[in-house]
Chain A
Amino acid sequence: MSELELWLLFLAVGLGTFCLRLSFIQFHGQLRLPAVLNRALAYVPASVLAALVLPSVVNSGADAELLLLSPRTLAALTAALVAWKTKNILYTLLSGMAVLWLLQSFS
């Protein structure tokens, strides 16, 4: 993608995001969120984040095969445990990277 295309892409996301943030604040009393959409929004984080995490964890081999017992899956499982126990981004990041580096140095 060229530099110009990147800027246009980011501008589009930026404007769209600003509209989402401004929506109800600007049009208070005139806009209403349908009830089903309101309930659906509660499940956006869990489904999108899981959809982002799982493929990049299991599809790590250079031969693009799905691997269960790769350094990456083990590192991700450790990080998930740490995330659950500590709810801290920094500890999750450090533990996951540490396990990955450790396992990679053996293989």
Chain B
Amino acid sequence: MQYTTGKDAFYAGVRALLPAAPGVIPFGLVTGVTAIEQGLSPLTSIGMTVLFFAGAAQMAALQLLRNDAFPLVIIVTALVINLRFLMYSASMAPHFARLPKRWKWPLSYVLSDQAYVLSILKFTDGKSALYGHYFYAGAGISMWLTWQLAVMAGVFLGAEIPASWSLDFAIPLVFLALLVPSVRNSACLGAACVGGVVAVLAMDMAYNLGLLLASVCGIGTGLLVEHVQRGRPGRALSPAPGDAAPEEKAAGENATGDKAP
């Protein structure tokens, strides 16, 4: 669609973001509840949410705080999880190249998975180039608001939830909900299996370094599988998304099975 004014494009961005909200709100609620259960004050929890504006990194940091991890490990882990923003930044950069700094900095701050995915489609269709950054701003700012309000609601609910509800289990469940769709091909599957198994084996490593070691091993495995597949002609590099998922289930069982006492 062609936008004639910046305002039109901005509101189109807001409307495009709305369908994503039901997926974001429960994640935000759980993040807020987890922060309070971790013993953070409401103000610190909200400050953390504003500073991070990255759900998975925030959840990982909270889990590491629970395990009394070394602060440097928490910082590095959170930044590794956020490395994907480098990719988004590189992909958005040409479309923002002519904007002044007073646009670039705030637009960078609200860069999120959702705002990126929605806007890059607009930018690449070529028609909305003139007001594309307004569309992105609409999607990005409404995503920011949705996230902050959801976490805040979780923060104020948090105190009311009894420990017998085992709500700490919500953390791995949220990660699981993000993990399964991220396994798009066999190289990703290899990365996930090795990452998971190494993390279990390295659970007792000092300062929770196991998580970083596991991530590096997983990424290495992904690259290796990709390399091996390239060497074999006639084999599809990326099978259909549906193909990888049942393997992931079985592999998950194997991964835990290996570790049975």
**Residue interface mask A56-72, B partner, CB < 8 A = 1:** 11110000011110001
Chain B CB within 8 A of A107 CB? no
Is B94 touching A54 in the complex (CB atoms < 8 A)? no
- Say yes or no: A43-B86 contact (C-beta < 8 A), given A17-B54, A26-B108: no
Q: Which residues of B contact A96 (CB under 8 A)?
A: 169, 173, 176
Is A50 touching B74 in the complex (CB atoms < 8 A)? no
- Say yes or no: A80-B176 contact (C-beta < 8 A), given A1-B71, A13-B79, A52-B199: yes
State A5–B174 Cα separation when bound (angstroms). Answer: 27
A residues 63-107 touching B (CB-CB < 8 Å): 65-68, 72-73, 75-77, 79-81, 83-84, 87-90, 92-93, 96-97, 100-101, 104
B residues 67-101 touching A (CB-CB < 8 Å): 71, 74-75, 77-94, 96-97
Is B83 touching A25 in the complex (CB atoms < 8 A)? no
B residues 12-47 touching A (CB-CB < 8 Å): 22-23, 26-27, 30, 40-41, 44, 47
Chain A CB within 8 A of B149 CB? no
- Say yes or no: A26-B79 contact (C-beta < 8 A), given A55-B199, A57-B172: no
State A89–B78 Cα separation when bound (angstroms). Answer: 21
Is B57 touching A17 in the complex (CB atoms < 8 A)? yes
> How many B residues touch A, CB cutoff 8 Å?
105
State A56–B194 Cα separation when bound (angstroms). Answer: 16
Q: Which residues of A contact B253 (CB under 8 A)?
A: 77
Say what secondary structure dominates the interface of chain B: helix
Is B166 touching A104 in the complex (CB atoms < 8 A)? yes
Chain A CB within 8 A of B249 CB? yes
Q: Which of A18, A20, A36, A92 contacts B176 (CB 8 A)?
A: A92
Of B3-11, B121-129, B151-159, B212-220, the one touching chain A: B212-220
Using CB atoms, name the residue of chain B closest to A56: B172
Q: Which residues of B contact A13 (CB under 8 A)?
A: 51-52, 57, 61, 74-75, 78-79
State A84–B47 Cα separation when bound (angstroms). Answer: 33
A residues 1-43 touching B (CB-CB < 8 Å): 1, 3, 5-7, 9-14, 16-18, 20-26, 28-29, 31, 33, 36, 38-43
- Say yes or no: A25-B107 contact (C-beta < 8 A), given A13-B74, A51-B199: yes
Is A84 touching B180 in the complex (CB atoms < 8 A)? yes
Q: Which residues of B contact A16 (CB under 8 A)?
A: 75, 78-79, 82
Is A54 touching B169 in the complex (CB atoms < 8 A)? no
Q: How far does the Cβ of A28 sit from chain B's closest Cβ, in whole Å? A: 4
Q: Which residues of A contact B218 (CB under 8 A)?
A: 43, 46-48, 50-51
State A62–B140 Cα separation when bound (angstroms). Answer: 43
Q: Which residues of A contact B22 (CB under 8 A)?
A: 90
- Say yes or no: A75-B169 contact (C-beta < 8 A), given A36-B223, A87-B181, A93-B177: yes
State A11–B44 Cα separation when bound (angstroms). Answer: 11
14 additional A-B residue pairs with CB within 8 Å, beyond A17-B54, A23-B89, A49-B182 = A7-B44, A10-B48, A10-B61, A14-B50, A21-B88, A48-B195, A48-B218, A55-B203, A55-B210, A68-B259, A77-B253, A93-B174, A96-B173, A97-B170
Chain A residues in the interface with B (C-beta under 8 A) = 1, 3, 5-7, 9-14, 16-18, 20-26, 28-29, 31, 33, 36, 38-59, 65-68, 72-73, 75-77, 79-81, 83-84, 87-90, 92-93, 96-97, 100-101, 104
